Amino acid sequence: MGNFQILHFSSVSSTQEIAKMILRENVVVVADEQREGRGRKGRRWFSPYGGLWMTIILKDFNSQLLTLAAGIAVAKTLESFGVRSKIKWPNDILIEGKKVAGILAEKHKDFVLLGIGVNLENEIPEEIKDLATNVRGVKREEFLLAFLEILEEEFKKNKENILKDWRDYECTLGKKVSVDDELVGVAADIDDDGFLILEVDGRRERITAGTLRFLE
């Protein structure tokens, strides 16, 4: 991996949709704003001017590990700008419990489209201010270049070291959580593929996807 090529757009429906039309490895689609940005399960991702909205086109391999590596890279990049954050499994980056970044890995043909949104100088809508936050004073271009450099280093690591890095930043394990507001248990661990192990009434469930909500 490496030698990322950055393609910049002013306004797009979503960087994921543009990436689907390009499908060239290591191309990074960046937009000033997304009119139809989305997160997991098609949820709307508010993405106005001022934030960092991008999709990285990568060759298809373990998309769960890609998601973890990208989360680590976001957390490490924030740290390089003096901001401490935590990772909530599977794909949320939090500052003091509020979401500052999200990641969406989608398989498309022979590629993984790694969509990443980071709230920087963009405004946070009033209705989600108790759930989301942003980072002021960090230039988008500087964040992007630092992030891509750190991400490249994460991609060079083996699976064991990616999982070790993830544990250094995670805030999920040991917590009582609900998955998709249906399954309730304790987030016990992640397995070798980066999936969550949930302890439910004495049994262990392997969670490959879902929206986690902390219950304590």
The pTM of the whole model exceeds 0.85: yes
CA 61/CA 209 separation, integer angstroms: 17
* Class (C level, CATH) for 176-214: mainly beta
Amino acid type, 144: L
The CATH H-level superfamily of 5-169 is: Bira Bifunctional Protein; Domain 2 (3.30.930.10)
User: CA of 77: how far to CAs of 7, 58, 187, in Å?
Assistant: 21, 20, 26
Amino acid type, 200: V
Task: Please count the other Cβ atoms lying within 10 Å of the Cβ belonging to residue 95.
Answer: 19
Render each residue's pLDDT in the chain as its tens digit; 216 residues: 458 999 999 999 999 999 999 999 999 999 999 987 665 555 666 788 999 999 999 987 778 899 999 999 999 999 999 999 999 999 999 999 999 999 999 999 999 999 999 999 999 989 999 999 999 999 999 999 999 999 999 999 999 999 999 999 999 999 999 999 999 999 999 999 999 999 999 999 999 999 999 997
Q: What is the b/e burial string over 181-216, where b = at least 16 CB atoms within 10 angstroms of the residue's CB?
A: eeeebbbeebeeebbbbbeeeeeeeebeebbbeeee
The residues spanned by each domain of the chain are 5-169, 176-214
| Helix, strand, coil percentages, rounded to 5, for the chain | 30, 35, 35
- Comparing CA positions, the residue from 207, 163, 208 lying closest to residue 185 is 207
